Amino acid sequence: MTINDINNQNLLKAAGFVGGEWVQADDGGTLTVDNPATGGIIARVPAMGEAEARRAIMAAESAWPSWRAKTVKERAAVLMAWHQLLLENEEDLARLMTLEQGKPLVESRGEVRYGASFAQWFAEEARRDGGDIVPAPRTNTQIRVTREAAGVAAMITPWNFPIAMLTRKAAPALAAGCTAVIKPASQTPLCAIAVTALAQQAGVPAGVINLVLGSGTVIGSELCANPAVRVLSFTGSTEVGRILAAQCAPTIKKLALELGGNAPFIVFDDADVPRAVQQAMLSKFRNAGQTCVCANRIYVQNGVYDEFMALFKERIMALKVGNGMDDGVTIGPLIDGAAANKAAQHVDDCVQKGAKVLCGGNALGGNFYAPTLLSDVCDDVLPCCEETFAPVAPVFRFTDENEVIKRANDTIYGLSAYLCTRDLGRAMRVSEALEAGIIGVNEGIISSEEAPFGGIKQSGMGREGGTYGMEEYTEIKYTLLGF
Ligand code: NAP
C-alpha cells in the first residue's frame, strides 16, 4: 500500500493552507514524511517558517469578524458537513494515517470516526450555549453573562493521534466562532492536510482554517509571540508545554495544554481479573503504547498477582507485531528509532534493578519493539518518572490500598489513572484519592467526545471534549443592564 492507493487524490496536497490557498514554503524548502514501518519516504511537504506563520495568523485575523458574525446555526451546518465528509473518507484517511503514523489500520479507522465525532459534537454543543441571567443585587438591573469567541486560536498537535487531536481543537474553536492556525507534528502532516482539504470542501470560508507545516520550534515561537493570537492550544509533551507557556506569557494568551501522562493502573484483590487484564491490554497496548493515557505503571495486589500475570502474559504473547497495513497486525512500529531506543532503555533499567522479563524485552529491527511484560518491578525505575510510550508493561506488587494510592500519586503527572475493583466503596474512595484529571474504574478506554479530557499537575490545564471543551475558545462577558 502506498500513497497512490488513496482513492480521493484531493486529500493529497503536499502544501500548507493559508487564507484559502494551498501554498508552498517561501524558500521552497520541504520536509520528508517517512513510513515508520518501512523507513521509506512517503511524501515531501513544505517546511514553512515564521513569515508564513505570520501570514496565516493575519489571514485568520481578517476572517474572524465575518465567521464570528455568522449565526451559530450556520457555523454548525459547516461543521456537520465536515463531519460527514470525514466519515465518507474514512478508509482513505485511515490508510494515510497508518502510512505516516504506523498504527494498525483497524485503529486508524477508529481514530477517524473518533476525530469526526468532535465536529458533530461541537456543532450540537454550540447551539445550546445560551449564557446565563444571574439574579442581580439591585432592583431594575440584570446581570447577563455570555460567552464570546476568543479570537484567533493557534493549535499545535502531536503525531500519535494526528486526526483526533486536530479536530478536538479545531471543531470547538470553529463552533465558538474562532478562527484557527494549525501546526501539526512534522512526522504526520498528511492527515492534517487531508482533514483541512475536507474542511475546505465542507464550506469552511477562506482564512477560517489555516495550516502551517514545518518545525514546531520555528513556527511555535511566532504563534506564541504574535499578539493577534488569543488562544494557544497545545497537545504534546510536558517538556514542550513548559516552553510554550513561557513563550506565551508576554502576550498573556489563553492557554490549553494537554501534556504527557504516567498513568497508574491498579488491580485490587477484589477485581474481576479477566476483565482487568482485558482493560489493561486496551490501555497499555493501543497504538503500540504511544498514547498519553497509556497505563505506564501497573500495580497488582498480592492476592491476584500470579493469576493476573499468567493471563496478561498469554494475551500479550498473542499480539501480532508488523506493518499496520497487514491483516491481523495489532502492534505496529514505534514512530521512530529514538522511540524504540527509549523502550529498550526503560526495559534495561527495570531489569538491572531486579525485574524479570516474562515476554518480549527485545528490539525487533527497524522501529519495532516486542510487546514486553516485566514482573516484580521496583519503584526506582525509569517508567516511574517518565512516559515509556512503547509496548512495555512493567508490573509492580502492592499490599494495601493506602500504600498503592501513595505510590500511584508519586509523579509530576496527573492525566489519567485506572483502578479495577468490584467494591463500590473502594471504587469511590480510590477515585477521589487519585491525583488525575481522568479516572477509569474497571475501564481502560476513557476517551469520547462526550467526556472532558485533560490533566492536572504537570499534565496540563484545560479540557477538551464534553460540554467543557468549548470554554477554551470563549471568553466570558458580563453585562450589567440597568432599566
Ligand atoms: P512533542 O515533541 O511535544 O511535539 C508535539 C508538537 O509540538 C509537534 O507538533 C511539534 O512539532 C511541536 N513542537 C515541538 N517542539 C516545539 C517547540 N519548541 N515549540 C513549539 N512547538 C513545538 O510531542 P510528541 O512527541 O509529538 O507527542 C507525544 C507527547 O504528546 C507525549 O508526551 C504524549 O503524552 C502527549 N500527548 C498528550 C495528549 C493529551 O491529550 N494530554 C494527547 C496526545 C499526546 P514538530 O513535530 O515540528 O517538532
SS3 content of the chain, % helix, strand, coil (to 5): 40, 20, 35
Q: Does the beta carbon of 469 lie inside 6 Å of ligand 1?
A: no
Triad 240, 285, 306: Cα angle to 5°: 125
Task: Give the distance, in angstroms, between the CA of residue 433 and the centroid of all CA atoms in the same chain.
Answer: 25
- Residue 10 β-bridge partners: none
**How far from 329 is each of 97, 103, 311, 470, CA to CA, in Å?**
15, 9, 20, 37
Cell of 227: 499578539
Distance CA 130, CA 14 (A): 41
Element (H, E) at 280: helix 273-285
107-152 pLDDT tens trace: 999 999 999 999 999 999 999 888 999 999 999 999 999 999 999 9
Q: Does the beta carbon of 161 lie inside 6 Å of ligand 1?
A: yes
Q: Does the beta carbon of 222 lie inside 6 Å of ligand 1?
A: no
Q: Which of the residues are catalytic?
A: 258
- Ligand 1 atom closest to Cα of 260? 34
For all residues of the chain together, what is the average pLDDT? 98
Q: Does the beta carbon of 261 lie inside 6 Å of ligand 1?
A: yes
Ligand 1: centre distance to CA 397 (Å): 32
Distance CA 381, CA 354 (A): 10
Ligand 1: centre distance to CA 380 (Å): 26
**Four-CA torsion 78, 83, 89, 94, nearest 10 degrees:** 130
Triad 286, 291, 294: Cα angle to 5°: 75
> Torsions phi, psi of 477, nearest 5?
-120, 130
pLDDT score recorded for residue 237: 98
Question: Could you read off the pLDDT tens digit of each residue along the chain, which spans 483 residues?
Answer: 889 999 999 999 999 999 999 999 999 999 999 999 999 999 999 999 999 999 999 999 999 999 999 999 999 999 999 999 999 999 999 999 999 999 999 999 999 999 999 999 999 999 988 899 999 999 999 999 999 999 999 999 999 999 999 999 999 999 999 999 999 999 999 999 999 999 999 999 999 999 999 999 999 999 999 999 999 999 999 999 999 999 999 999 999 999 999 999 999 999 999 999 999 999 999 999 999 999 999 999 999 999 999 999 999 999 999 999 999 999 999 999 999 999 999 999 999 999 999 999 999 999 999 999 999 999 999 999 999 999 999 999 999 999 999 999 999 999 999 999 999 999 999 999 999 999 999 999 999 999 999 999 999 999 999 999 999 999 999 999 999
- Ligand 1 atom closest to Cα of 239? 3
Could you count the other beta carbons within 10 Å of the beta carbon of residue 209?
A: 30
The residue whose CA is least distant from atom 48 of ligand 1 is 216
Q: Which residue has the cell 512517503?
A: 42
- Which of 156, 160, 164 has its CA nearest to residue 111? 164
Distance CA 241, CA 258 (A): 8
Q: Does the beta carbon of 285 lie inside 6 Å of ligand 1?
A: no
- Ligand 1 atom closest to Cα of 159? 26
pLDDT score recorded for residue 313: 98
The residue whose CA is least distant from atom 13 of ligand 1 is 216
**How far from 434 is each of 14, 256, 438, 456, CA to CA, in Å?**
45, 22, 9, 11
Q: Does the beta carbon of 363 lie inside 6 Å of ligand 1?
A: no
Q: Does the beta carbon of 47 lie inside 6 Å of ligand 1?
A: no
Task: Give the distance, in angstroms, between the CA of residue 311 and the centroid of all CA atoms in the same chain.
Answer: 30
> Torsions phi, psi of 347, nearest 5?
-65, -45
pLDDT score recorded for residue 129: 81
* In the chain, % of residues over pLDDT 90: 99
Among 240, 335, 412, which is best to mutate for testing ligand 1, by the most ligand atoms less than 8 A from CB? 240
- CA atoms within 13 A of residue 456's CA, in its CB half-sphere: 9
pLDDT score recorded for residue 1: 83
Is 215 strand, coil or helix?
coil
Cell of 466: 464534553
